[in-house]
Amino acid sequence: MADWYYDDLRQVGVDFEDTAAVAAYDRNQGTDAAAERTLLDELRVGSGHVVIDIGCGTGAFALEAARRCRTVYAVDVSAGMLAFARRRAEGQGLHNLHFRHGGFLSYGHDGPRADLLVTKYAFHHLPDFWKGVALVRMKEMLGQDGRLFLRDVVFSFPPAEHRREIDAWIARMAKPSGEGFTAADFATHVRDEHSTYDWIIEGLLERAGFRIERKVRWDAAYTDYLCAKAA
Ligand SMILES: C[S@@+](CC[C@H](N)C(=O)[O-])C[C@H]1O[C@@H](n2cnc3c(N)ncnc32)[C@H](O)[C@@H]1O
């Protein structure tokens, strides 16, 4: 690997190797198996499908996906998250669920080309240049009719509005310590992680060879993209 290549195995911002952060994640995030099943329905994931989930975290989506599709590759840079997700899967007989230690830039997919690549709330860990590299890699992991589902913190307000919008986002989302992600967690996200504007994400998707088929803007801070290969 070239000496200029980004090391995506190191934690950026919130440390998801921290045992306490892993243990508190589902409560903080409001992880909900029923919501993961609804998403799988919306994405029309079927029994023949191969699914890759990058930044799988505690594995909630990957486990639900494994119950209804052929094979799931659950990928994360955090050994702690993977251990948690493995424990969750244990005893459920999900022999089609494969955990892999790696990231957007370091995971080498050696399975069949995927029908669906999902990444939720993880892509913002990469700086924008490396998001572009990661999208090219993800496109290569997909079969010809494969789709990419990207859900993340995506800012869709004018740059000049950043102070008001970021303050409003934190005020809307932050919870007291012990109940959810705190204002300090959101501040870490904005300061140390790499969430960016919708027009940057959309430009990167298109230049990496994706066609945006559906965009759902939840609010000024969250957006979903469902994409197909452009060619
Ligand atoms: C906020 S959690 C999201 C977990 C899960 N996808 C969800 O929907 O709840 C972000 C996850 O991305 C992982 N992550 C951070 N940097 C990454 C990278 N470069 N490649 C892949 N995963 C990464 C973290 O370890 C963490 O498990």
What pLDDT is recorded for position 75? 98
How high is the pLDDT of residue 231? 72
pTM here?
0.98
What pLDDT does residue 1 have?
84
Could you give the C-alpha distances from 20 to 9, 27, 89, 178, in angstroms and in order? 19, 12, 20, 11
Residue burial 6-19, b: 16+ Cβ < 10 Å; e: rest: bebeeebbbebeee
Nearest CA to ligand 1 atom 1: 121
pLDDT, residue 210, reads 98
Neighbours of 77 (CB within 10 A): 25
Task: Single out the residue of 141, 62, 137 nearest to residue 98, CA to CA.
Answer: 62
Residue 212 pLDDT: 98
In the reported structure, the alpha carbon of residue 121 is separated from the centroid of ligand 1 by a whole-number distance in angstroms of: 7
d(CA 231, CA 228): 9
Residue 118 Cα: closest atom of ligand 1: 6
Query: In this predicted structure, what is the pLDDT of residue 110?
Result: 95
The Å distance, Cα 57 to ligand 1 centre, comes to 5
DSSP string for 132-187: HHHHHHHHHHEEEEEEEEEEEEEE-S-GGGHHHHHHHHHHHH---TTTS--HHHHH
pLDDT confidence of residue 79? 96
Q: How far is the CA of 58 from the centre of ligand 1 (A)?
A: 9
User: Phi first, then psi: what are they for 21, rounded to 5°?
Assistant: -65, -40
What pLDDT score does 221 carry? Answer: 98
Residues with CB under 6 A from ligand 1: 8, 16, 29, 31, 54-57, 76-78, 81, 103-104, 120-122, 125-126
Strand blocks (E) in the chain: 50-54, 71-76, 97-101, 114-120, 142-155, 196-197, 210-219, 222-229
The closest residue, in CA terms, to atom 8 on ligand 1 is 120
Q: Which of 38, 78, 128 should be mutated for ligand 1, with most atoms under 8 A from CB? A: 78
Rounded to the nearest angstrom, the distance between the alpha carbon of 171 and the centre of ligand 1 is 23
Q: Measure the CA–CA gap between 91 and 76, rounded to whole angstroms.
A: 21
Collect all residues with Cβ–Cβ distance below 8 Å to 205 and sequence separation of at least 6. Answer: 135, 148, 150, 212, 225, 227
DSSP 113: P
Give the residue, out of 16, 64, 73, with the most ligand 1 atoms within 8 A of its beta carbon, to mutate for a pocket test: 16
Q: Which residues in the chain land under pLDDT 50?
A: none
Nearest CA to ligand 1 atom 14: 55
* pLDDT value, residue 127: 98
Query: In this structure, what token pair is assigned to residue 1?
Result: 């690997």
